[in-house]
Amino acid sequence: MDFPLHFRCPISMELMKDPVTISTGVTYERKNIEKWFYTCKKKTCPTTMQVLHSFDMTPNHTLKRLILAWQNGKSQSQSHDELSMKHDELVSLINTIESSPFKVSSLKKLKSIVELGDHDVKDDFKKCGGVEVLVRIIQQILIESSDFVTFRACEEALSLLIKLPIVLEEEETIKILLQPGCMKSMAIILQRGSEEARFCTVSILQRIMKSDCQWSVVIEDQGIEFFKSLMEIMSDEICSKASSCALQVLIDILEKSKKSRLKAIEAGAMCTLIEILPDSSKSKSEKIMYLIKMMCECADGRMGFIEHDLGVAAITKKMLNISNIGTKIGVKILSLICNSHPTDKVLDDLLMYGSVKKLVALLHIGGSSTTKERVIKILKLHGDKWKKNPCFPYELKNYLGLESDSL
C-alpha cells in the first residue's frame, strides 16, 4: 500500500502505529526505536547519527491522529468497491462450484469470504442458495464415499457451514440439514472424518438440537454406528470442545427419545460413560451421571450398569464429592438399580465401595426430600442383608435396631 513518506518509520520504512519522538526531533515506530536502543545497544539517532544523552521517547499524538484519519479515509473509499467485488465473487463461486473439478479450493475461497465478511455477506450467501449447494456437496459422499476428493469436499463444506451461526439458527436451514441424505452424510463424517470435520459436524448437530424442529424422529433412524461415533468423540481427551459438544448432543437425543436410549445402550454407551466418569471434571461428571441415569431407566441400561465391574464404584466416588445435583443423580441411579432385583454382587459392591456409608450420611441431612426418601427405601429393601456383613456401618446397625418398625 502506498502511503505518505512522513508516515513511515525511518528504520523499518513501514507505516507507523505507535509513533514516538526522541530528543533529536525525529519520530520512529516505538518498537523499532526501542529495539535500536535496548537490544542493539545503540546510543545514536538512527537518522542523524547524533550521539544521544537522553533516551526519552515522547508519543507523537498529532502524527498518530493524522495516520488514523488517512487510514479511515482510504478504507471508506475502498469499502464499497471491495463489498461489490466480494458479492460478485461469492455469487460466481456458488453458481459454479458444483460443476467445478476444484471443489475443495473453491470451498476454501468461499470460507475466507464468509469469515472476513459481515452479516450482509452471510445473508447474500443464504439468498444465493449457498446452504442448498453445501448440502448437495455433503450428500455427494453417499454416492462416491470412497473418492478422496469428494470426501474432502464434504469436510470442507461442513467447516464452511459452521461459519454461518446466524444462518444455522434459522428454521429453514435446519429443515434442509435434517434431510435424510444430509444426516446420513454427517453420520459418515462422524465415523471417518478428520478431527476438525468431526468437531464441525457435532457442532452442527448441537445447533440442530437447540432448534424447535422435529429432529428426534430423524435421529431415531440413525444406526448404531452413529451413537458409537458420538461415544468416540465424547471420549476424546485431546479435543475437549468436541468432547463437550458430543456429550451435550447425546443428552439432547436421549432426553427426547427412549428408542435412542436403547440404541445408545446397544452401542456401548453405558460402558464408555462409566469408564470416563472417574477422571471427569465436576460439570462433566454431572452430565455423564445424568446420561447414566436416563439409561438406567431402561431394563437394558440397568443390565449394562450391573454387568460393569466399576459401575457402583464410579457412581459412589462422585456422590457427596461434586455437587448436590451430582449426589441426587447418584442416589437416583442406585435407587433404580436397587429397586430392580439387584444381584448379590451388586449389593456386596454397594457395601464394599462405600455406597451404603454415603447413603447413611445422607440420612443425617435435616429435613425431608425425595433423595432422602429414596435412601430410606434402599435401606428398607436391603438393610437385612447388609447388616450381616462385618463391613456394615455401625451407626446404621444402631439406626436399624432403633427404628426396625419404620425401616
| Integer Cα distance of 182 and 96 in angstroms | 21
Q: How far apart are CA 377 and CA 370, in angstroms?
A: 11
SS3 8: strand
Q: What is the pLDDT of residue 77?
A: 56
Look at residues 226, 222, 311 and name the one whose alpha carbon lies nearest to residue 273.
311
CB–CB of 328/371 below 8 Å? yes
- Average pLDDT value for residue range 73-85: 61
Q: What is the pLDDT of residue 407?
A: 39
Q: Smallest Cα–Cα separation from 129: which of 82, 176, 184?
A: 176
Task: Give pLDDT tens digits for 262-316.
Answer: 999 999 999 999 999 999 999 899 999 999 999 999 999 999 999 999 999 999 9
What pLDDT is stored for residue 403 in this prediction?
A: 47
pTM of the predicted structure, to 2 decimals: 0.72
Binning pLDDT at 50, 70 and 90, where does residue 332 land?
very high
Give CA–CA dist 162/204, Å, rounded. Answer: 6
Amino acid identity for residue 154 in this structure: C
Residues in the chain: 407
Grid coordinates representing 169? 439458527
* Residue 1, pLDDT above cutoff 60: no
Rounded alpha-carbon distances, angstroms, from residue 283 to 139, 199, 247, 290, 337: 36, 20, 11, 11, 24
Name, of 64-78, 177-191, 210-224, the range with top average pLDDT: 177-191
Q: Please, what's the b/e burial string for 49-68 (b: 16 or more CB within 10 A of its CB; e: otherwise)?
A: eeeeeeeebeebeebbeebe
- Taking 3-state DSSP, the helix, strand and coil percentages for the chain, each rounded to the nearest 5, stand at 70, 5, 30
The mean predicted confidence, pLDDT, of the chain is 86
Q: What is the pLDDT of residues 30-60, one digit of tens each?
A: 999 999 999 999 999 998 899 999 999 999 9
For the record, the C-alpha cell of 54 comes out as: 537522553
pLDDT tens for 119-172 read: 777 788 888 888 899 999 999 998 887 788 889 999 999 999 988 876 777 888
Averaged pLDDT for residues 209-230 = 87
Average pLDDT over residues 193-207: 91
